[in-house]
Amino acid sequence: MLMHVHETNIQQQIQQQQQQIQQLQQQLQQQQQQQQQQQQQEHRLLREYNELLTEYIEFLAEQQDPNHHHRHHQELLSEYNQLQQDYILLMYQQNTNNNNSDRIVLNIFNGFL
C-alpha cells in the first residue's frame, strides 16, 4: 500500500513537471513571437526612415528649382520628425529590459541632432 502511494506521488510530480515544461515552452514561443514582431516593426520603421531620408535628400537637390513648393518641404519635415519619434520610442521599448536603455536611447536621439 505504501509503495502504491509513493508511486502515485511520483506520477503526480512527473505530471506537474511536464505541465511546467509545457508552460515554459509556451512562454518561450510567445517571447519569440513578440521578438519577431518587434524586429519586423523595427525593419519597417527603418525602411520608412530611409525612404523619407532619400525623399528629403531629393528635395534638397530640387531646392535649386525656384518653383518648388515650400509646403511640401514642411510636410516632409513633419513626417521626418514623427518618424524620428516613432523610432526612438521603438528603441526605448526594445531596450527597457536592459539596464543601459537610457544610454542607448540618448545615443540614438543624439544621432538625430
Write the pLDDT tens digit of every residue in 6-23: 788 889 999 999 999 999
CA–CA separation, 50 and 38 (whole Å): 18
3-class SS of residue 96: coil
In which band, very low, low, confident or very high, does the pLDDT at 113 lie, cut at 50, 70 and 90? very low
Rg (CA), the chain: 26
Check if the beta carbon of residue 76 is closer than 8 Å to that of residue 56. Answer: yes
Burial 48-85 (b: 16+ CB within 10 A, else e): eeeebeeeeeeeeeeeeeeeeeeeeeeebeeeeeebbe
Q: Are 112 and 84 in contact (CB under 8 A)?
A: yes
User: Given this model, what pLDDT does residue 25 score?
Assistant: 95
Provide the pLDDT for residue 109: 52
pTM: predicted TM-score of the whole model, two decimal places: 0.43
